[in-house]
Structure 1
Amino acid sequence: MSPHGTAPVPAPHPDEPHRGGLAQRLNWLRAGVLGANDGIVSVAAIVVGVAGATSEVAPILTAGVAGLVGGAISMALGEYVSVSSQSDSERALISKEKRELREMPEEELQELAGLYEAKGLRPETAHQVAVELTAHDAVAAHLSAELNIDETDVVSAWHAAGASTLAFAVGALLPLLAILLPPEGWRVAATFVSVLVALALTGWISAHLGGSSKPRSILRIVIGGAIALAATFGVGSLLGASGVV
């Protein structure tokens, strides 16, 4: 008990997301992990496919750089459009809730009390909770109970786009360097190994962020990447052998 006779507020556990800004952090972390994964796989598939058709450095470099630049821009646009739609929807819901609180406060109070009653509180307790939360911050109380939204934590499209673009470019550099730096006879093998190791790492990070099974996530992403590399290398080899390129 505190000196004033009230129970102390329990401290948050370090592994639980009680701190503010969680949506923002998870937003750019998710975009970063997905961007890096896409950069690794897409550019690796491009350069390995070209390497299957020709051993010349110039076309491999050109295709790899083009894939890096085009893919980074595409990722930025995709994240920006997707997250913008989400944040626009959240802001529209926030505006609607504020308008309803101005125009019909009593109805909104009863609605909030009903939500807490539906969660298991007794009617009188639910009403008291609704009254106290409304007095403290009516908008925050309704957004949390009704929509699970925090007005101060609406996701940023620019953050997601920036994180995704940077991560894609960094991820894409790995297969690009792996295909160009080793001697000619080791290029494809070095790219396969480095890419699959990097994918295992991004799979681990993704599972860690999402709290899912790490072995399953790693296996899934590594198998998918290996299939992509094998398929594009096979296509490139067939085109090179046939004399088409």
Structure 2
Amino acid sequence: MGRRVLSLVLLITFLWSGIVLGAAKQPDVDAEAAILMVADTKEILFEKNSKGIMYPASTTKIMTLITALEKGNPNSVVTVSPKAAACEESRLELNAGDKLTLNEAMTGMMLVSGNDAAEAIAENVGGSIPKFVEMMNQMADKIGVENTHFTNPHGLPDPINHYTTAYDLALITAYGMKMPSFVKIVSTPTYEVKFLNRGSIYANNTNKLLKTYPGMNGVKTGYTNDAGECLVASAKRGNVELIAVILNSDYRWRDATKLLDFGFAQLGL
């Protein structure tokens, strides 16, 4: 009997040690808010302040792309307005009067994070930027997010009404990753953007993990002074796709890598 009790105590001690060790292996991330989600099941493998209200910066363009794909015609011709061409910060270097298909504009927008392209897309699909933003918010409602609101298609700062959460961004991205056209665009490392009125330009994806992380297939970077460095990264191994959202981190590449490594290890992949 004494040996059985001792064996039971040792077994409980071993299992408890395993639990403690497992907890200790949770990744330590710098991000103010982060989440790791299984795309298909929405299972959460890791979270840190995942429902805290945050600035999305250019991860906003994930919703811009989803809305344009669902509401626009990829073969329609986008004529760039003077307003869109004058949009500042990160740009696809569009000129007023440029003509390109919506598909070319969407691809260029996502790869270089072009704010000018985002406004041109919004005007083409929605008829105006305010109407397109209304469509974005309707799409957010359709997806089922509860703490997200957009006031523009690119993510430039609006300190009051343009916000999201890491959790909502993961849900939005999971929705997008079900769309083949979305995946094709966000997984493209380089692309020749073709214009109808002038020569092509080459766009390089700002998501450098596409070239370095095994299975990486998206999605979008973001940065403003207010939002800090942001990243939504997805990777697929076997039949499992993981989505890591990193908001306001000085080490977004490292944080995303840590989360994805942790998730695939937990799943034995």
Q: Classify the TM-score, shorter chain.
A: under 0.3
Which structure has more RCO (C-alpha within 8 Å, separation ≥ 6)?
A: 1
Calculate the TM-score normalised by the size of structure 2: 0.24
Q: Determine which structure has more spread, i.e. the larger CA radius of gyration.
A: 1
Higher helix share: 1
